[in-house]
Amino acid sequence: MVKQHTPVHLTWLKRRTWRSPHIIHIMTQQQPPWPSPYPNANPNPRGKCWLILVLIAVLPLADVGALPFLFTHLKPQINWTQPEMESWVIEEQPRSIQPHLEPVLHPNRTHRVLSSDSTDAEFLQRLVSIRHNQTASSRMLWYDVAGGDGLVYPPFVDKALKLLNLKQVAFEIENSVMSKVTCTACRAGAGMLQHQIQSGKTDAELIRMITDYCTNLNIQSARVCQGVAQLFGSELIYVLKRVNLSPDELCSFVIGDGCADVYNPYHEWEVIFPPVPKPPRLADLPIPMEAAPFFKVLHISDTHYDPHYAEGSNADCNEPLCCRLSSGRPATPNAAAGKWGDYRKCDTPKRTVDHMLSHIAETHKDIDYILWTGDLPPHDVWNQTKEENLAIIKDTVKQMVEMFPGVPIFPALGNHESAPVNSFPPPYVNQVDISISWLYDELDIQWRRWLPQSVTHTVRRGAFYSVLVRPGFRITSLNMNYCNNKNWWLLLNSTDPATELQWFIYELQSAEFSNEKVHVIGHIPPGHSDCLKVWSRNFYKIISRYESTVTAQFYGHTHYDEFEMFYDPHDLNHPNGIAYIGPSVSPYYDLNPGYRIYYVDGDHDATTRLVIDHESWIMNLKEANLYGYPIWYKLYTARAAYNMKALRPSDWNNLLNELTNNQELFELYYKYYWKNSPARPTCDAECKKRLICDCRSGRSHDRKHFCAEVESKIDEESSKSWKSWFYKGLTNSAEERTEVPAATTSDGYGPLDVVIVNVGG
């Protein structure tokens, strides 16, 4: 029986009515605590459809009267008004206080850290001999005019393309690599859209304008342009009509550090911590005991099941998602979609999902519980409906129940579950036609197959919850879409949407009082560039305050196999948290399908609840399509692959230092990061800096704070490598010169003589 429970110690929360996400604490007297961050480039395989919505930016070239919006010093004064408060009393909500998981005895189950795995090594050696996939070249979202596609643009449009460099903008948006180019396009588009709204154009006229320019510029096919304009245009126009933000403020909010750190009192806030001293921190966490009981945990993320995937259809289309009958016929045999999936912009066919789940159920019969971190629908973001997304959620939940009967599953909400994608209005947006209750109410029904009744209140409010798994061990699932900077609704007010972070503090403080350890699950990693910088900053403080309580975090979203580090904000030499980012099931794009297995310190007197080890399993998609049958195999085990004595935050921090200094080890990490995909590109010094900084940055849009030293070391090593190559070339030339008779020229030097001029340094 689950009862409402409020610890006696939490009197600081009693009789407090939490204000709606509008105002917790507005910082109007000081600048943001960090200077303009460094660009946070993170390869991300999901298209961002808001590009189409800013293409209206080309209009200023035909309407000079609209140009004043580009001058930010003309921005009107912000008149701040306090919105109405919404009553939601955190301590009155039921809590899970009864252990939810009944452990199952698995005789003779062990987990050994092996120094090598000969079977895997032999199998991997065979994979090395496979030829590289011929579709690894990147493709843009439109046809290349220079490539001879026959398109001729009007002169002013051609100038607009050159001015705004929309092709680079599209690439950066699609890969979450934001720079000043994207920032310029965003400011122009946002300003012009605001100008058109203020001029009195109707919603229908604005949407038609967006559709026409998207189509005429050949940004996408006509149906994609129309679908995106209809799905996203109405929502964006609704929000822009209700905010008083300049283009600079809008784009700083959406893009982050790629567009400066513009101070805006609407989007600067702080959560409130209880007046409880932080427990003394340990110099380092103890290493989990060997041969002690453990939990075996399955982590599945980013399935992106596509019910319309069609083998043999066009996999090389010019839309955000291919491999469907609607994608057309393939131009060449190589352009045809494979039976089990494709490395190009295609999601997961049903047969691949079915085969993976069957393989897991057969291979890992001793799974104790499952972490399921979201993104179930496919990437057809221009053509989605609420009904179809709900159908996919229901079908996949039903399948998980059937494949893993009796196994507890702890889900988290992805950004693709809503329609349109990334649209998650906070509770104060409660109009029937735009409220998110259509999704959250159904999630509560579906998730209750595994979760206790106590989670209903928070799931229906904001799709987050907390469950006591075992005595002293709790799992908390967060809705990371409230940190999603592509969630337009947060432009209205981003202050702790749904009061989620304040509730999170309440849960962690209760856990601290009860001596519980907590694992946090979610979809978007808090340090990713898709996470709002102000939300991420507050989350980072929470993790630092409760570092003795939160022992691991688990996310998805990026589709890669990686991790993020957390440090004491006042002492970067003290790592205090680790976030595991699991690989995607979907191959979208250039990836092999994969999943992860964790071994978590189990029930015993000295348990740490740390992750003891983890394994990544993949299916080689090229071989599966070539031979007609997939083989799932263990790609690597973390401790054996990286020679780690444990997986504590300090151990991951040591690995980061080794990755910076050891190029061979980094190349191994890079292979696993791409899930051993034959389509992975090469990684230069800039790529290496980006990946290692991604690992160090558990706080988004703050790379300068975390990565300056790492980037300096990599630049230094890169410079040494270049100098070594250069001087080696000079040495070889000199050796050759001694063997070849040299004729003297009029200037006194032989034809192979080298003159070295000291230019300083």
Extract the annotated binding site for Zn(2+): 302, 304, 375, 415, 523, 557, 559
Among 200, 256, 252, 205, smallest CA distance to 233 is for 205
Q: Cβ(592)–Cβ(618) under 8 Å?
A: yes
Q: Cβ(268)–Cβ(552) under 8 Å?
A: no
Among 383, 272, 335, 348, smallest CA distance to 621 is for 348
Paired strand residues for 348? 305
Number of C-beta neighbours around residue 204 at 10 A: 10
Residues 6+ apart with CB under 8 A from 416: 304, 374, 375, 376, 377, 378, 379, 381, 389
Paired strand residues for 26? 269
Residues 6+ apart with CB under 8 A from 712: none
Residues 6+ apart with CB under 8 A from 489: 235, 239, 423, 424, 425, 426, 429
What's the Cα-to-Cα distance from 1 to each of 95, 97, 221, 434, 472, rounded to whole Å?
11, 9, 56, 36, 18
Buried b (16+ CB within 10 A) or exposed e, 222-256: eebbbbbbebbbbbbbbbbeeeebbbbbbbbbbbb
User: Residue 635 burial (CB < 10 Å; 0-12/13-18/19+)?
Assistant: buried
Helices (H), 325-436: 350-363, 386-403
Match 């031979």 to its residue by tokens.
627
Q: Cβ(478)–Cβ(464) under 8 Å?
A: yes
Q: Cβ(12)–Cβ(249) under 8 Å?
A: no
3-state secondary structure of 739: helix
Q: Which residue positions form the known binding site?
A: 302, 304, 375, 415, 523, 557, 559
- The number of C-alpha atoms within 13 Å of 680 and in the hemisphere containing its C-beta is 22
Helices (H), 294-436: 350-363, 386-403
Among 347, 254, 355, 295, smallest CA distance to 49 is for 254
User: Residue 37 burial (CB < 10 Å; 0-12/13-18/19+)?
Assistant: buried
Rounded CA-CA distance 668/676 in Å is 10
- Parallel, antiparallel, or unpaired for β 562-568 and 550-555? unpaired
The packing angle between helices 180-198 and 203-216, to 10°, is 140
- Strand intervals (E) in 233-293: none
Number of C-beta neighbours around residue 60 at 10 A: 21
What's the Cα-to-Cα distance from 123 to each of 165, 405, 621, 632, 633, rounded to whole Å?
45, 32, 14, 11, 9
Among 147, 130, 598, smallest CA distance to 410 is for 598
Give the tokens for residue 52.
């189409």
Buried b (16+ CB within 10 A) or exposed e, 701-720: bbbbbbbeebbeebeeeeee
Strand order in the sheet with 562-568: 465-470, 473-477, 517-521, 550-555, 571-581, 562-568
